[in-house]
Each structure stands twice: as C-alpha cells, then as structure tokens.
Amino acid sequence: MSIKRMEVLKSLAVEAPTKIVMLVIDGLGGLPDKDGMTELERAVTPNLDKMALEGETGLLEMVDVGLTPGSGPGHLALFGYDPLEFPVGRGILEALGTGATVSKGDVCARGNFATWGQRDVIVDRRAGRIETEKSRELVRRLSEAITEIEGVKINYYPGMEHRFSLVFSGEGLCDCVSDADPQREGSPMKWAEAISPEGAKMAYIANKFIQEARKVLRDEPKANGCLLRGFSGVPDIPHLSELYKIKPLALAAYPMYKGLASLVGMDVLDDIEGSPAKLIEELQARWDAYDFFYVHVKHTDSRGEDGDVAGKVKVIEEVDKVIPSLMELSPDVLVVTGDHSTPAKMKGHSWHPSPIALLSSYVRPDGSSNFGERACARGSLGIIPAWKLMGLLLAHGRRLKKFGA
C-alpha cells in the first residue's frame, strides 16, 4: 500500500514556487511526570502554541502502533518512506552516525575489537570493553596498516569503547553476507559467508580483513582481533527530488541525521552548529536556493535519554524562541514534530506517537491553543502514519495534481 501511495504521489507531483519547512525536534514526545504534565506540556511555548492555534494539530504514528522507532526508521518515515517497506541496515546507520561517507556500491560493517584465544575461540566479544581512547589508537594503527585488500579500499571510523565502523569500497561488493561473529563467547570464530552468490567477494574480503587485523593486533593483550557484523550497503531508496520534484536541504549538525538526509538525496550542510538559533540562521542564508528544508534539533532527545526533564523542557523552549525568525521567512508550509518520543521518564525512545503542528494557508484550525501531546490527540489531523506526512506537506504546498478525473 505504501509503495503504491509513493508511486501515486510521484505521478501527481508538480513543481511549484512554494517553500516547505519540516522542523524535527528529536524525541519530542514525552510522558506525564509527577505533576501530570509532559515535558512539552510543561515547556513555555507561546510561539508553538500560536502555531497550533492557527494551524492543524494531530499525532504521527511513526512506524506502527506500539513500535519504538530508532532514529533511522523515525526519520525515514518523516521523509515519506514506510519504514516497514524500506529497511535500513544497522551497519550503514552506525557508519553514518560516525560521520562516514557512503556511496552506492559501498558496504558498511560494524566492527568490535575482541579477544581471540587458542584455535580461534572468541574469548571476549568486546575485548573487555576497552577504553574509547585505546580503541581510537587501534583503529588508527589498523587504518595505517590495511588501506586496501585486493583493490577494495577500506575506510575506518572509530566509535565508542570497543566499537568502530568500516566502509568497503570497490567493484562487485554486495552486502548479502552473514556476520563474522560467533555471537557467543567461548565459541570458535564464525567467519562471514555469502548469503547469496553475489556476496562471495565481500565475504572473502571481510574474512581476509579480519585475518590481516589479527596480525596487526597480535601483541595486544585484550584487543588482539576483531569481529565484523551488520554488513549493509546504501539502501535502494528513490531520492526525494525524483519522487516529488523538490530541492531539499538538510540543516542538521549530527552525523546520523546528515547521513539519513543524504540517503534520501538531500543536500547536506557541513560543519554547522546544532543550536536552534544557529540552524535557523543557516536556513535563512539558504532560503532562496532550496524549496524543502529539513531542520533537526538533537538535544531534546539527548536530555530525554538522560532522564533530564528540566533539560528537555529547556531545549523545547529554545526551539520555541526561534519560531518567529522562521515565520519571518513566510514559509508556505511549516510543520513541527518529532521523529519519535523520548520520555525523560523512560530514558529512551518510546512507541508513543509524536505531536505535530502544521501551518499553511489551507488548514482547518481545530481550536487547539496548546502544542502538547494530549491537545494534539484531539486535533483535526487525527492520528496519521508518519510516512503519509510528506504527501500532506506537498498538498499544502500545492505541489500535487488532482488524483483522477
């Protein structure tokens, strides 16, 4: 169904001189605290409330009822892709999160430093959770020693503790490869295998890499080897411009979100700061060059993950303060929402739908004068699948022809 909808939208999309802004407040939705209010309800947000009053409100079901989205699926849905139809591998998401540049044909993998014992038994899959600093040093040594294997270039991206990411670039690589990881400690190494014939080369290169790394790391007491898993390439996702005849720009400071935006074909700004005020400044500077703007505010999610109610409230209030600068640009369509909920009470992502406020010249304001989860639940948009939002934005931007005669 979602694929059919995408095809229909594509067939109806036309160019128009309208500008659409999608402001994503990461992990926006929350849960009531002891005082009975969510973070968003507690925050003092006169500008968002005014937007709710003059626009339409509702809730976005991010992936499906009861499913807690990771950042990948949450954002894909906001960009118009049903996450159940467009799975994105962990390998590539982790690589994107470490700032990797990944092109079509490349294959990403998540790496772990590990302790190898006699006869290739994996003694510790995390090498005693070695320090991040130590891990970075080892990644540097590997990257100097192994730059390519049989014509396949290898790029390295260090991560936290024992983790790192690799991007393999070369001819004939396919991500249809099983993990090079026994999953259980005390078991002998399980080498990568091709899941389908096209994966043969990648499996061979991955195993060869692990053997070479063993040599480089042989004198390390704990991290004397590594494991690779989550092999994944750039998913076959049609770009937003070819689907909807828009020219999209991402204003996001964190690698994961820049990576997600580039996966769907957005232009991405390098080296920008993530505060709401700075993001809007950058947007203002590029207003004439694009017609679709994705703006990503990260720290609501971070404070939610920390269980820091006051901190999350503060970030929401910072966002509220920049709304007037956004409005000065007179976007034809402005939507404010989240990519998933991150209730401080849960210290993590949750399945609860995200509040949304939508403003354009073609709304039916529903009388809600409060941008909060419970007010939005009574809004005139109702609860809509997040992957349908993009079509709604195009409609409000007068960028869709009539369906049928």
Q: Identify which of residues 225 and 355 has a Cβ nearer to its own copies in the complex.
A: 355
Q: Identify which of residues 36 and 221 has a Cβ nearer to its own copies in the complex.
A: 36
Tell me the number of residues near its own copies by CB under 8 A.
68
Q: Identify which of residues 66 and 221 has a Cβ nearer to its own copies in the complex.
A: 66
**In which residue are the tokens 């400044």 written?**
281
Rounded least distance, CB 116 to its own copies, Å: 26
Residue 277, token pair as written in the block: 């005020």
Q: Are strands 292-297 and 248-251 parallel, antiparallel or unpaired?
A: parallel
Rounded least distance, CB 213 to its own copies, Å: 24
Residue 245 within binding range of its own copies, rule CB under 8 A: no
339 closest CA partner among 77, 159, 9: 77
| Contact positions with its own copies (CB under 8 A) in 9-48 | 9, 12, 31-32, 36, 38
Q: Identify which of residues 329 and 363 has a Cβ nearer to its own copies in the complex.
A: 363
Helix (H) or strand (E) holding 172: none
Residue 8 within binding range of its own copies, rule CB under 8 A: yes
Among 349, 354, 359, 371, binds its own copies (CB under 8 A): 349
| Contact positions with its own copies (CB under 8 A) in 49-108 | 59, 63-73, 83-84, 87-88, 90, 93-94, 97
Among 268, 308, 365, 370, binds its own copies (CB under 8 A): 365
Helix (H, G, I), strand (E, B) or coil at 112: strand
Amino acid (1-letter code) at residue 92:
I
- Which stretch in 129-137, 210-218, 314-322, 356-364 sits in contact with its own copies by CB under 8 A? 356-364
Residue 200 within binding range of its own copies, rule CB under 8 A: no
Residue 390, token pair as written in the block: 């993009």
Query: What sign for the dihedral angle of Cα 379, 380, 383, 385?
Result: negative
Please name the residues in contact with 316: beta carbons below 8 A apart, sequence gap of 6 or more: 25, 28, 39, 40, 43, 45, 300
**Three-state SS across 189-206?**
CCCCCECCHHHHHHHHHH
**Partners of 358 in beta bridges:** 56, 335
- Which stretch in 20-28, 175-183, 315-323, 395-403 sits in contact with its own copies by CB under 8 A? 395-403
Among 222, 244, 352, 371, binds its own copies (CB under 8 A): 352
- Which stretch in 141-149, 184-192, 220-228, 397-405 sits in contact with its own copies by CB under 8 A? 397-405
- The answer to whether the beta carbons of residues 327 and 287 sit under 8 Å apart is no
Q: Identify which of residues 199 and 397 has a Cβ nearer to its own copies in the complex.
A: 397
Please name the residues in contact with 305: beta carbons below 8 A apart, sequence gap of 6 or more: 27, 342, 347, 348
Q: Count CA atoms within 13 Å of residue 149 on its CB side.
A: 23
| Contact positions with its own copies (CB under 8 A) in 319-348 | 343, 345-346, 348
Rounded least distance, CB 58 to its own copies, Å: 9
Helix (H, G, I), strand (E, B) or coil at 130: coil
- The answer to whether the beta carbons of residues 44 and 367 sit under 8 Å apart is no
d(CA 252, CA 249): 9
Task: Enumerate binding residues for its own copies (CB under 8 A).
Answer: 1, 4-5, 8-9, 12, 31-32, 36, 38, 59, 63-73, 83-84, 87-88, 90, 93-94, 97, 343, 345-346, 348-352, 362-367, 373-374, 377-380, 382-385, 388-389, 391-396, 400-405
